[in-house]
């Protein structure tokens, strides 16, 4: 993807976010990201479920499913299926080599939404200053699919995403195994040791962690003011050709930080299949 195309794609994601009614959460995210809990407790899942099934969320989902004319707004009748699942991302503490740091940390909870005509979407729900809120809606069911693949490949392992290259893995014991083609390119079809994986990500991202000059320069998604939205679009676009935006400032930056890149990538893939 060229930088010009990436800028257009990122801008489209932000425009769609505003259209779908998620812009207030995005603005709140920029104003003050909130750290996510260390694990998805029953209480957290219940709070995420309440946010996912709230009338405003269902109305937003109806607009989301009707946006391309596949189903009418009144006929969409979205429903939430099953329980929210934890979605983990590569941990900056692990990259930094902090003793005892797990390879991944909780980034948000994912809920599956289905329309009356069978369309599927994933709700990204995170803890914000206003409580648990839906902060983004993405096409497809990647989070659920990779959770299932990981459980089958390494029962009891931790499924996580390396957002910088859009790669999915499962880690357990001293091994890291790939779950998609991006991960295979990164660690090989047979995976790698946890120690070797740490060396690789430290080499790739060690100078881009929170607090680094890269992050302090505003290229890691951690914007403090809502007025920084245009800069955020530029940052997403500038990194779309390379390693991706390294770190968002917590799940609060879902729409405009690292996960904004994920939305661009997923939207592009959907377009390619059409």
* pLDDT block averages, 10 residues each, the chain of length 274: 38 42 43 73 91 93 90 92 93 90 94 93 91 90 95 96 94 95 96 95 82 52 30 30 40 34 34 28
**Which 3 state secondary structure label does DSSP give 90?**
strand
- Do 113 and 136 form a contact (C-beta atoms < 8 A)? no
Residue 183 CA to residue 92 CA, distance in Å, equals 18
Residues 6+ apart with CB under 8 A from 174: 193, 194, 195
Residues 6+ apart with CB under 8 A from 205: 92, 95, 164, 243, 246, 247
Residue 140 CA to residue 209 CA, distance in Å, equals 30
pLDDT score, position 152: 97
Burial class (CB in 10 A: 0-12, 13-18, 19+), 139: middle
pLDDT score, position 210: 66
CA dihedral 178, 182, 188, 189 (to 10 degrees): 60
7: left (phi over 0), alpha (psi -120 to 50) or beta: alpha
pTM for this prediction? 0.70
For 104-150, the pLDDT digits (tens) are: 999 999 999 999 999 999 999 999 888 899 999 998 889 999 999 99
């Amino acid at each position: 993807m060229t930088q010009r195309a990436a800028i257009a794609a990122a801008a489209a994601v932000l425009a769609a976010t505003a259209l779908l009614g998620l812009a207030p959460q995005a603005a709140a995210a920029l104003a003050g990201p909130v750290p996510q809990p260390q694990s998805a407790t029953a209480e957290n899942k219940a709070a995420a479920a309440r946010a996912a099934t709230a009338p405003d969320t269902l109305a937003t989902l109806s607009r989301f499913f009707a946006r391309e004319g596949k189903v009418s707004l009144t006929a969409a009748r979205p429903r939430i299926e099953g329980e929210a699942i934890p979605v983990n991302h590569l941990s900056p503490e692990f990259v930094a080599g902090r003793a005892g740091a797990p390879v991944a940390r909780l980034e948000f909870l994912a809920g599956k939404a289905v329309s009356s005509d069978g369309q599927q979407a994933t709700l990204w729900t995170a803890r914000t200053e206003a409580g648990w809120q839906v902060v983004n809606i993405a096409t497809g069911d990647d989070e659920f699919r990779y959770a299932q693949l990981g459980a089958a490949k390494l029962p009891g392992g931790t499924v996580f995403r390396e957002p910088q290259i859009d790669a999915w893995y499962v880690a357990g014991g001293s091994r890291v195994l790939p779950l998609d083609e991006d991960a295979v390119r990164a660690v090989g079809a047979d995976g790698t040791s946890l120690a070797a994986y740490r060396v690789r990500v430290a080499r790739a991202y060690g100078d881009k962690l929170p607090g680094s000059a890269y992050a302090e320069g505003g290229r890691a998604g951690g914007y403090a003011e809502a007025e920084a939205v245009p800069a955020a679009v530029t940052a997403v676009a500038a990194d779309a050709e390379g390693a991706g935006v390294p770190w968002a400032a917590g799940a609060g930056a879902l729409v405009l930080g690292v996960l904004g890149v994920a939305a661009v990538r997923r939207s592009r893939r959907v377009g390619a299949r059409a």
